[in-house]
Amino acid sequence: MSLVEITQHSHPVALELLYATDKNFTGKIIYKNARCFLHEKAMPLFEKVILLAARQGYTLKIFDTFRPKKAAQALWDFCPNPMYVADPQKGSNHTRGVAIDLTLIDSNGHELDMGTPFDDFTDDSHHSAVLAPEIARNRYILLGIMMSAGWDFYNNEWWHYQLFSPRDYPLIEDDYGMM
């Protein structure tokens, strides 16, 4: 089992790895090195997402993928709310390398309006939220692309997708040079 690195040179995506900056919900840098990885078994589905998005005129913007255990602990220490942050004692799907947090950007390089920013821990971030029609449309576009490519969604976060049966994948101990 190994992780595959995703870069803007290896794939036509935009990376804004917010945990490598202080522009995240903790206000602190979590990752010392901004690197983006997915489990090798997630890569065919990820590449299908890229293709499906491009066919509709969109590019992916990735906020987070693999998350080292030390990073998962730092997020939990700041916000121990299992509705939005995985308890590191139970393990995160990000720490298994099988989850991705992302949005869509249009042909002008603008993010689609999803109604809330990434890591907004309110009911408005839920897939079931009652939203303005344009925001709902944008979320459904992302949801449709992701599910058509074979990803499962997490109801509380419009930006979070994961492989089905994520607990079938082991937690990854290596930090892959991120911490």
Residue 104 DSSP symbol = E
Return the closest-CA partner of residue 98 out of 18, 168, 6. Answer: 168
Tell me the domains of the chain and their CATH numbers: 3-168 (3.30.1380.10)
Separation of CA 135 from chain center: 19
**pLDDT, tens digit (0-9, with 9 covering 90-100), for 60-104:** 999 999 999 999 999 999 999 999 999 998 999 999 999 999 999
**pLDDT, tens digit (0-9, with 9 covering 90-100), for 141-175:** 999 999 999 999 999 999 999 999 999 999 999 99
**Backbone CA torsion sign across 161, 163, 165, 169:** negative
Would you say 129 and 56 are in contact if contact means Cβ atoms under 8 Å apart? no
Active site residues: 157
Model pTM score: 0.97
Return the closest-CA partner of residue 128 out of 118, 138, 113, 139. Answer: 139
**SS3 (DSSP) at 52:** helix
**Average pLDDT in the chain:** 97
**SS3 (DSSP) at 145:** helix
Mean pLDDT of 23-46: 97
Q: Decide if pLDDT at 1 tops 90.
A: no
Q: Decide if pLDDT at 117 tops 70.
A: yes
Would you place residue 33 in the very low, low, confident or very high pLDDT band (cuts 50, 70, 90)? very high
Residue 103 CA to residue 26 CA, distance in Å, equals: 20
**Count of CB atoms within 10 A of residue 34's CB?**
14
